[in-house]
Amino acid sequence: MTSKVIYFTVNGRPEQAEFTADCPAQDVKDLFRAAAEAGPHDILKLYNTKGNIINISPKLEPNSPQSRYKLEVVAADCNSEPLGSELAVALGFDLSVMEKRLQSLEKKILGEAGETPSIVFEMKNQVESFREKLESVEHLSWLGLFKELSSTGTHKPSPFYHKRALRKTREECEHVRESFLQMSTLEVTEEVRQYLKTPTFDNWQWEDAEIMVLLQLMYTDLDFITTFHIELEVLQQFLYEVYKHYNNIPFHNFNHCFCMYGLIWLTDLRSKIDEIDLLTMLTSAVCHDLDHTGYNNAYQINARTELALRYNDISPLENHHCAVAFEILEKPENNIFRNLTTEQYKRIREGMIKCILATDMTRHNEILNQFKSILPVFDFSNKDHKDNLMMTMIKVSDISNEARPMDVAEPWLDCLLQEFFNQSDMEKLEGLPVSPFMDRDKVTKPSSQTGFIRFVLFPLFMELANLFPNLEQHIIDPVRKALDYYTEMEKALEKEKKEKQNRAQSEKAAKEKSMTTSQLEPKKPANGSLPKPGGSSTTKPKPPAAPTLKHINK
Ligand SMILES: [Zn+2]
């Protein structure tokens, strides 16, 4: 089945979607929703060049870049119960309260004047038509985004409901692969080589193809190519498959796999453990979030996804990341371990499974406590000690963003919160339990960090710094600064919130005072009509745009 390409604009930005005519309708809809960066509550409208609304379906008429369709996010889906209150918050008023107020005004005026004035009729009509409009959202289901939710809460989403839209397109992958292969022949400057080894390295400055070159450099500069007889084409093919298997999501994307290398150099680990263990650690870090869909284990388990079923609720994601890694390695053309002995391969596989599974945060205390207990007698030649060190170090790298300079770390936090909020929105929509730390109504940027740094980062980083004292300066100090920064931000936000509350209270008191002295009169909104749903309330925070191509070899 040949695929068709649909050209369209969204927020003035040109986009194109590719799918086959036999692609499921829901997947096509999801594709457009992803392109619009629309939330699960949003409704999309697609217009043709004549300005007519057309159906988002696999049957869409192919067009050309010159006759692009226009995609718009028009409104929030407010037909489901939990969204009623959200809508009230978004609109700044509650429709039912307004109706009640109108009723009481009408009664009062009827009693006083003997008949209903026309202005009250007019307002009543406006409220009614607005309600009708909101309640008939289901009739827009042909547009593709209305979701039928079961009121019993047993609604079961498709396990990979969101998956396809997050996947990289073939064009995207091929373009990156070409650039990567072209760039990989260039020699990387000594300056970049050294910079890459530091914890201040700024990942936001590099495009995907450049990151692949840097990953290749990691394998080269740690001497893995010669020690383990890795052919360059095989390494490049492996890195390309890794790139392909990271999804386009805000946080757990290809950029995030890039975290272990600096720590290996910082701790001078090469002088302490075998090269095969270093190869295990670097490859585990590179693969540790493969095919992450942006929804954590709690979601997988609560939504009873295919992953949760397959892995019996035991670290479904981490098991999946690891399985995808070994699926990639199964193909000889990707298998960077293909020249290893069976013994060596067994050792790497065992190590990678341990390391990747250790990134499940529910195992945090177990691994940290074990590390603490062996620390006083730590011996680099003891296999159990070394296994635990490798797990601890991949954990540290996994959550090490806060140890980076603020202009590198803060965009990462924005991305993480965006991914969290996407998940909690989906959980609300599906009637699933919502973790408070992911809830956009409960979490602020600083509040998400202060507790995490105090209770998770510090205890972990401090223990590792006991074994490698120079981490104090390179990792602990920056985290301390980050804690101060977010503590200050938290205080400022608290202050602002209190001031807002005080202002609202005094305004309310002043209003009540004037209500008792002036005559009761229904007021028409300034623009003569009721506010429209959607608009700015549907806009979402955006991840920082990665800067455009910087040259590796200058
Ligand atoms: Zn991770």
Domain boundaries, the chain: 3-76, 77-143, 174-402
- In angstroms and rounded to an integer, the radius of gyration of the C-alpha atoms of the chain is 28
Q: What is the mean pLDDT of residues 210-237?
A: 97
For residue 220, what pLDDT band results from cuts at 50, 70 and 90?
very high
CATH code of 3-76, in short, is 3.10.20
256 annotated as belonging to a binding site for a ligand: yes
pLDDT of residue 548: 32
pLDDT of residue 124: 64
pLDDT digits 0-9 by tens, 89-139 = 444 455 566 666 766 766 666 556 655 566 666 766 665 555 544 444 433
Distance CA(483)–CA(235), nearest Å, equals 39
Residue 551 catalytic? no
Q: What is the mean pLDDT of residues 352-376?
A: 97
Distance 286 CA to ligand 1 centre (A): 10
For residue 37, what pLDDT band results from cuts at 50, 70 and 90?
confident
Q: What is the mean pLDDT of the chain?
A: 82
- Return the HEC string of 106-128: HHHHHHHHCCCCHHHHHHHHHHH
Distance CA(308)–CA(100), nearest Å, equals 47
For residue 388, what pLDDT band results from cuts at 50, 70 and 90?
very high
Residue 60 C-alpha from the chain's centroid: 29
pLDDT of residue 336: 98
For residue 257, what pLDDT band results from cuts at 50, 70 and 90?
confident
Residue 445 CA neighbour count, 13 Å, CB half? 16
For residue 367, what pLDDT band results from cuts at 50, 70 and 90?
very high
255 annotated as belonging to a binding site for a ligand: yes
Contact 264, 282 (CB under 8 A): yes
For residue 385, what pLDDT band results from cuts at 50, 70 and 90?
very high
The SS3 assignment for 4 reads strand
pLDDT digits 0-9 by tens, 151-175 = 334 444 444 444 556 889 999 999 9
Q: For residue 444, give the nearest of 541, 546, 543 by alpha carbon.
A: 541
pLDDT of residue 532: 33
Burial of 256 (0-12, 13-18, 19+ CB in 10 A): buried
261-297 burial code (b ≥16 CB/10 A, e <16): bbbbbbbebeeebeebbbbbbbbbbbbbbbbbbbbbb
Distance 252 CA to ligand 1 centre (A): 6
365 annotated as belonging to a binding site for a ligand: no
Q: What is the mean pLDDT of residues 212-235?
A: 97
Phi-psi region of 144 (alpha: psi -120 to 50; beta: other; left: phi over 0): left
Structure tokens at 175: 């373009």
pLDDT of residue 161: 43
pLDDT of residue 317: 97
Distance 439 CA to ligand 1 centre (A): 20
Contact 96, 42 (CB under 8 A): no
Distance CA(55)–CA(45), nearest Å, equals 8
pLDDT digits 0-9 by tens, 278-326 = 999 999 999 999 999 999 999 999 999 999 999 999 999 999 999 999 9
Asked whether the domain spanning 174-402 has the same topology as the one spanning 3-76, the reply is: no
pLDDT of residue 323: 98
For residue 493, what pLDDT band results from cuts at 50, 70 and 90?
confident
Distance CA(535)–CA(545), nearest Å, equals 23
**Sequence-separated (6 or more) residues with CB below 8 Å from residue 212:** 176, 180, 184, 236, 239, 240, 243
For residue 361, what pLDDT band results from cuts at 50, 70 and 90?
very high
Q: What is the mean pLDDT of residues 222-251?
A: 97
Candidate list 252, 292, 320, 321, residue with the active-site label: 252
289 annotated as belonging to a binding site for a ligand: yes
For residue 531, what pLDDT band results from cuts at 50, 70 and 90?
very low
pLDDT of residue 523: 40
Distance 84 CA to ligand 1 centre (A): 35
The CATH architecture to which 174-402 belongs is: Orthogonal Bundle (1.10)
Contact 355, 322 (CB under 8 A): no
Residue 14: strand pairing partners: 9
